[in-house]
Amino acid sequence: MNFRLIAAVIVSLSLSACASLPPKPVPVDAGRFAADGSEFDGNATVYVMRDDNLSGAAYSVDVALDKTSQGSIRRETYVKFPAPSGHHDLYATWPMITGEPSVAVSVDLAAGKTYYFRFSPNFGVAPDGMIFSARLGPIRAADAVPLLAKYEVRH
């Protein structure tokens, strides 16, 4: 067998193993962005939307609450789901093939509140190659509601 082919397979497997590890959730204060009211009795309402950035536009991103999938989002789409009060980890995870970084936040949610989160992938060019990044963070209802009116709901 060709040495280059073997090396490429080893590097590919190593990279995919790293990419498959779930990201460590970063603590975020979502409470200061929470809106009063919830569509789900006894629970919080959580919206996760993906902005209009073209980075990774060909792929869906899985949205999970405490590692339980809540649906997937593509560019200019969102998912909505109930969440019980308490501490939760919210994930936005790319398919391994993309090479894009998945992200996670750790949040406290309260029943009777609505929380809006925006997932924003990005890429740039640096002297040594491409740089991929992604953010997942809470946004105010005043910023979220106009976007939801334009975006498509996903399940």
Write the pLDDT tens digit of every residue in 88-125. Answer: 999 999 888 777 789 999 999 999 999 999 999 876 66
pLDDT score recorded for residue 10? 41
Helices (H), the chain: 3-20, 141-150
pLDDT score recorded for residue 16? 43
Q: 113: which residues sit within 8 A by CB, 6+ positions away?
A: 31, 34, 35, 36, 37, 38, 44, 45
DSSP-derived pairing of the beta strands 44-50 and 113-126: parallel
pLDDT at 19 over 50: no
**Is the pLDDT higher at 111 or at 2?**
111
Give the number of other CB atoms < 10 A from CB of residue 22: 12
Tell me if residue 142 falls in helix, strand or coil. Answer: helix
pLDDT score recorded for residue 7? 41
Q: Which of 12-16, 42-46, 151-155 has the lowest mean pLDDT?
A: 12-16
Measured CA distances, 102 to 9, 51, 130, 134 (Å): 23, 15, 16, 7
Would you say the pTM of this structure is higher than 0.85?
no
Report the C-alpha gap between 49 and 135 in whole angstroms.
12
Q: Which of 24-28, 128-132, 136-140 has the lowest mean pLDDT?
A: 128-132
If you average pLDDT over every residue of the chain, what do you get?
A: 85
